[in-house]
Amino acid sequence: MEKTASVSGAQTIHKAISLLKFIARFSGEGARLIDLVRGMEIGQPTAHRLLQALVAEGLVKQDTSHRYHLGSLVFELSLTSGHHFNLADICTPVLKKLADETGDTSFLFLRSGDDAICLAREQGPYHIQTPVVPVGSRQPLGVSAGGLAILSALSEQEAAAVLKAITPRLVMFGNLTTDRVWEYYLKSNAVGYAAISNRAAPGVKGVGVPIIGEIGTPIAAVTLATTISRMTEERIQEIIPALNEAAEQIDVLLRQF
Amino acid sequence: MEKTASVSGAQTIHKAISLLKFIARFSGEGARLIDLVRGMEIGQPTAHRLLQALVAEGLVKQDTSHRYHLGSLVFELSLTSGHHFNLADICTPVLKKLADETGDTSFLFLRSGDDAICLAREQGPYHIQTPVVPVGSRQPLGVSAGGLAILSALSEQEAAAVLKAITPRLVMFGNLTTDRVWEYYLKSNAVGYAAISNRAAPGVKGVGVPIIGEIGTPIAAVTLATTISRMTEERIQEIIPALNEAAEQIDVLLRQF
DNA sequence: TATTAATAGTCCATAATATGGACTTTTTTA
DNA sequence: TAAAAAAGTCCATATTATGGACTATTAATA
């Protein structure tokens, strides 16, 4: 995970950005100084000084209980880049291929904190299509197959923090409960993919796999949806390789961009 | 603009992040090494070395013509932070107040590269409401009052680059032309706010002002919309102070988060 | 396409900066 | 309230970044 890259003559930058990436893994609770010092190869005074510098620049924010979070500058920088939009364009061929090969409707979900956003969608040639999630819509992680795939790629600690945060909104999705989502989380991790019946559209079932970014945290998910009767256990086993291949391709596209 | 902050003992980080912020201002074309060296107080070998370090980390990307752009790590980090979502929540009271005070429908737009996304919307007490842009929808910069406000806050060079990029999509918005949008751009800069009739909803007119972030580039816009007959020149002059106040409040909220 | 100008990339002795041991202060836990 | 843990600070020293001067590459011009 830790790249030994580090261009000669800029070790400080390597350390500072490693801190940034490590903080990103504590989404929600935030990271304490000691968490960072223990998790990385860095001295405590050095970490403290670099963090203060990052805070002064706005890349990192420190809350009242001394915990470190990503700062608003990260958000602001990402807005000028337009990556969000381009990602949908770039991934469309992959989604189209996936839909064509399986016959069903394919989706790309993007993580946004405790939520998953449907970024793109493509319909396949099968005579029943289930475009159940509109492009641009947002649901808590764990609700749809895409959100569940992303949630399942988080550590138990992180997933628990997400679940806690989204609990008040879960009731709006077919009376989902925290316990139920936790069951799905465990099952997804056991079988290696996320499968779930759509709460808003009865009779529809989705299957998804996460896309893991450079930091090591899940950043997106690819899913396929069709009717429950069509999405049998047997068929899931057939389409999982196609899903994994699509996820791999999108991962490559992401790194290039 | 250039903060002299710089925590003692981390000047390198200050320089590296200043580079990052400066690169963000060249969205589209990308920045050449010499652009950065001339625009900042930094030596050329130093800039080169720091940039290579940032590229190695993924925060910056260098294209085939040696130009520097923000890298995919910026995008990836922003996904784990969930700032996008929280922003809408945080700004709702400001939008509600604006709608209540003016009677009309208020909107918050967020920049996303060459596009503006409607992030939040609030209706006022007046008996005619014009909720013409749905939350979550996206249009090229320059099409709606929000997009035009953001576009108008860009330099002529940047705005021209954006216009070039969105040209193919403009026809979908009431046969808008590049020339027409450029006229609007110039007029908005002359009068200090963006006013435009909605192309998709005839009879509706919007007025907006941009929100400038820490980097110095526009990151969002607040707008008000109502019927053309109600949105007279005289009335625009009355509501501009309210819009500016709302923009200022949102700016403060953004910096806190 | 040859020539020139401009930009990008590299090297290394020196100057400047980051480092970490040891410390104090603050916060959390028992 | 006491004890433990974490956060924050200081400074002499070792490590790292710096910028002048260079070469290599790319773009502009004739």
- Each residue of B231-251: pLDDT tens digit? 999 999 999 999 999 999 999
User: Which pLDDT does position A79 carry in this prediction?
Assistant: 81
User: Which pLDDT does position A128 carry in this prediction?
Assistant: 94
For A113-124, write each residue's pLDDT tens digit: 888 988 889 999
Nearest-CA residue of chain B relative to A218?
A: B80
A215-239: b or e for each residue (b if 16 or more CB lie within 10 Å)?
Answer: bebbbbbbbbbbeeeebeeeebeeb
Distance A45 CA to D9 C1' (A): 9
The rounded Cα A211 to chain-centroid distance in angstroms is: 7
Fold type of domain B2-70: Arc Repressor Mutant, subunit A (1.10.10)
Q: What is the mean pLDDT of chain A?
A: 89
For B32-75, write each residue's pLDDT tens digit: 999 999 988 899 999 999 999 999 888 999 998 899 999 888 98
User: Which pLDDT does position A9 carry in this prediction?
Assistant: 61
pLDDT > 60? residue A248: yes
Confidence of residue A1 (pLDDT cuts 50, 70, 90): very low
- What is the C-alpha separation between B7 and A2, in angstroms, rounded? 26
pLDDT cut 70: percent of chain A above it? 94
**How many contacts (CB atoms, under 8 Å) link A and B?**
204
Residue bearing tokens 């910026």: B74
Strand A218-227 versus strand A204-212 pairing type: antiparallel
pLDDT > 60? residue A2: no
- Nearest-neighbour CA in chain B from A231: distance (Å): 30
3-state secondary structure of B154: coil
Strand B68-70 versus strand B60-62 pairing type: antiparallel
Residue bearing tokens 């919007």: B206
Name the E strands within chain A.
60-62, 68-70, 105-112, 115-122, 138-140, 194-197, 204-212, 218-227
CA angle B74, B79, B83 (to 5 degrees): 100
Q: What is the mean pLDDT of chain B?
A: 89
User: Which pLDDT does position B5 carry in this prediction?
Assistant: 40
Q: Is the pTM of this model over 0.75?
A: yes
- Under 8 Å between Cβ of B138 and A85: yes
- Under 8 Å between Cβ of B122 and B92: yes
Q: Which CATH number fits domain B77-256: 3.20.20.70, 3.30.450.40, 3.90.1150.10, 2.40.50.700?
A: 3.30.450.40
Specify the amino acid at residue A91: C
Residue A158, H or E segment: helix A156-170
CB-based contact A254 B52, cutoff 8 Å: no
Specify the amino acid at residue A33: L
Contacting residues of A for B13, CB less than 8 Å apart = 12-13, 16, 50, 53-54, 57
Q: Which of A172, A234, A225, A173 is nearest to A196 (CA)?
A: A225
- Which pair of structure tokens corresponds to residue A178? 């925290």
User: Which pLDDT does position A3 carry in this prediction?
Assistant: 36
3-state secondary structure of A146: helix
Q: How many helices (DSSP H) and strands (DSSP E) are in chain B?
A: 9, 8
Contacts of B5 (CB under 8 A, 6+ apart): A56, A57, B14
- Which pair of structure tokens corresponds to residue A202? 């009865």
Q: B212-215 long-range CB contacts below 8 Å, 24 or more apart? A: B212/B153, B212/B251, B213/A76, B213/A79, B213/B251, B213/B254, B214/A58, B214/A72, B214/A73, B214/A76, B214/B21, B214/B255, B215/A73, B215/A76, B215/A77, B215/A80, B215/B21, B215/B24, B215/B25
Residue bearing tokens 């035009």: B148
Confidence of residue A19 (pLDDT cuts 50, 70, 90): very high
* B241 CB neighbours strand D below 7 A: no
CB atoms within 10 A of CB A183: 11
Q: Where are the domains of chain B?
A: 2-70, 77-256
Rounded to an integer, the average pLDDT of A219-233 is 96
- What is the C-alpha separation between B130 and B201, in angstroms, rounded? 9
pLDDT cut 90: percent of chain A above it? 60
Residue bearing the bigger pLDDT, A206 or B253: A206
CB atoms within 10 A of CB A125: 11
pLDDT > 90? residue B194: yes
CA distances from A227 to A68, A117, B57, B71, B119 (A): 44, 22, 43, 39, 32
Rounded to an integer, the average pLDDT of A84-96 is 84
Phi-psi region of B201 (alpha: psi -120 to 50; beta: other; left: phi over 0): beta
Q: A214-228, B110-124, B187-201 — which is least confidently predicted?
A: B110-124
Rounded to an integer, the average pLDDT of B89-118 is 92
- Under 8 Å between Cβ of A140 and A147: yes
CB-based contact A13 B86, cutoff 8 Å: no
CB-based contact A80 B219, cutoff 8 Å: yes
pLDDT > 60? residue A6: no
Contacting residues of A for B139, CB less than 8 Å apart = none
- Under 8 Å between Cβ of B203 and B209: no
